[in-house]
Structure 1
């Protein structure tokens, strides 16, 4: 019953407005009595009603009174460790870097742990003393009035940031904050075989926060196009244009790979669109393993033929070729 009353008051804008206007004792006899008396909620724990509703009954499905009262009265049912914000940036890399991997150094502006005091907020050589705001507990009590009575909550002490200690003399660089904003050089290791749009995550390289853990740095990779190769899984794809005579008679040709020049053998009577495979020259997949280069054959047909070439082609035609 009490939970139903609480829900009806919170969900009714008119009832909420009456309390905002008239306070605890109400106005025009229509107020809602709080406190410890009959019908009041006193120190009632609403967190037990989390997830009690059932689907289809129009009630409290996915409805957590504990969360609502935590937001409304300034405290929550759970205390979460502080965590700095994540940072997201974009990075352009070459096709070769995406295949073989790379190491980049970047400069980003962010909040980091103060290099002078190492996050303590204290001047070098200065000791820490007990915070006089929370008496070393790191948390302070706060009482708030509500339509259900007075609620006492705990929150992090703003003076010591939850540590219970404050420096006797503050760090001159961060002024006691323990963190400072500035440029920081970060080494980014790009793994071999990354794809365009892939995200690289550097744990703890995001924004720092005193008394908590730093956020993460997310780097979105943008890979430049290569004039010859395309990447497909662990293989590199390319097109190779050859002459009609090469297609018929076979031979050798030199191609440029990411490792340097390579001689490729073209078999006799190769077909247009046929795929030749060069093993072990693709994307690294392990310590001593790599994908392949897949070469698609494109046979070039000449637009014009000389008289001698036409004569030869006529002879070939007679031979049934």
Structure 2
């Protein structure tokens, strides 16, 4: 019996595009698939005919041979029921991939693992940003001799047809590579991979904070037929000698001479871009906080620039000589707790009341 024209089998014209072929085959294959038509030998034969036609016409080289020489030119191109399974699996690969999270045909591939790297930066580098060079361990595929895996035929997968579905698993011999490296390779000692160090330039964006992560796409481990994984840079901001950071604000403590605290004046305090002056009112007490607006950090994700909060610590003089002690004693004689030391006066009154009630 002569075979039916492949274009007629799929119900398309001889000028049909690949998309038109795919659409026609999808519709008819779903209709005549044996699992949907149990005990129907005609449907099974029709499905085989459809798969044969699609496999030939979807391949540019086979299609050209068929157009030139007809069925005789492609008789050896399609053989056994495996061809039908392959064609059906390929055309519905996108569906099965969505359902099962894997590919229905072709070599197995897996994305490389992600890597992590802890990068220590200074506060200034975190605030203003900077490009830094790092060096990470890396594996590259050895360019020595690779032989086609005889177990899976180079596909990287072992496929089984189970009713309506074409199931597959990664080849246990080549682990999805489709190739097996020469065990006697002197370059990699048969492992298939070469270990080395890779240098990378990491751009630290201005405003990053301790614990933030920077993702470098494609700089992770080598995949098996798939893309490389990613490299995640974890930022570790070193302790600063002067400032402590809290989000967009900076804090620091500055010693204040007790005379300046009493009489008032101005002092210079540090910022990340230089010095700034703070006016000290007379009678300033220890631990009073002064705010320098807009001298802090511009947040990485937007927002207003933070402030610097300066806590003054009034320093009591030590190692006094005789003359200094005499001057302070004269000063003390002229002191009035009520007028000059309101905190002391309040505390003394509370203490007297407390002891009186004992």
TM range, smaller chain:
0.5 to 0.7
The structure having more radius of gyration, on CA atoms, is 2
Q: Residue in 1 aligned with 2:125?
A: 97
Query: How many angstroms does 1:90 deviate by?
Result: 2.2
Give the whole-Å Cα distance in 2 for the aligned partners of 1:270 and 1:318.
16
Q: Residue in 2 aligned with 1:195?
A: 209
Residue 270 of structure 2 contacts residue 276 of structure 2 at CA under 8 Å; is this kept in 1?
yes
2:287 corresponds to 1:273: yes
Q: Residue in 2 aligned with 1:233?
A: 247
Give the whole-Å Cα distance in 1 for the aligned partners of 2:303 and 2:210.
24
Q: Residue in 1 aligned with 2:311?
A: 296
Query: How many angstroms does 1:207 deviate by?
Result: 0.6
Query: How many angstroms does 1:160 deviate by?
Result: 9.2
Residue 141 of structure 1 contacts residue 152 of structure 1 at CA under 8 Å; is this kept in 2?
yes
Asked which structure has the greater RCO (Cα within 8 Å, sep 6+), the reply is 1
Query: How many angstroms does 1:164 deviate by?
Result: 8.4
Q: Residue in 2 aligned with 1:141?
A: 159
Give the whole-Å Cα distance in 2 for the aligned partners of 1:200 and 1:281.
26
Residue 176 of structure 2 contacts residue 224 of structure 2 at CA under 8 Å; is this kept in 1?
no
Query: How many angstroms does 1:196 deviate by?
Result: 3.1
Query: How many angstroms does 1:290 deviate by?
Result: 2.3
Could you tell me which runs of 5 or more consecutive residues in structure 2 were left unpaired when the two chains were aligned: 1-98, 104-108, 181-186, 341-358
Give the whole-Å Cα distance in 2 for the aligned partners of 1:317 and 1:77.
86
Give the whole-Å Cα distance in 1 for the aligned partners of 2:261 and 2:128.
33
2:125 corresponds to 1:110: no
**TM-score normalized by structure 2?**
0.50
The aligned length equals 223
Give the whole-Å Cα distance in 2 for the aligned partners of 1:252 and 1:152.
82
Of 94-103 and 280-289, more deviation after overlay is shown by 280-289
Could you tell me which runs of 5 or more consecutive residues in structure 1 were left unpaired when the two chains were aligned: 1-75, 124-129, 144-150, 167-172
Query: How many angstroms does 1:235 deviate by?
Result: 0.7
Residue 177 of structure 2 contacts residue 224 of structure 2 at CA under 8 Å; is this kept in 1?
no
Q: Residue in 2 aligned with 1:79?
A: 102
Query: How many angstroms does 1:319 deviate by?
Result: 8.4
Give the whole-Å Cα distance in 2 for the aligned partners of 1:272 and 1:262.
20
Classify the secondary structure of the residue corresponding to 1:272.
Answer: coil
- Higher percent of residues as strand: 1
Query: How many angstroms does 1:249 deviate by?
Result: 2.2
Q: Residue in 2 aligned with 1:309?
A: 328
Report Cα offsets for 1:5-29 as digits up to 9, x if no partner. xxxxxxxxxxxxxxxxxxxxxxxxx
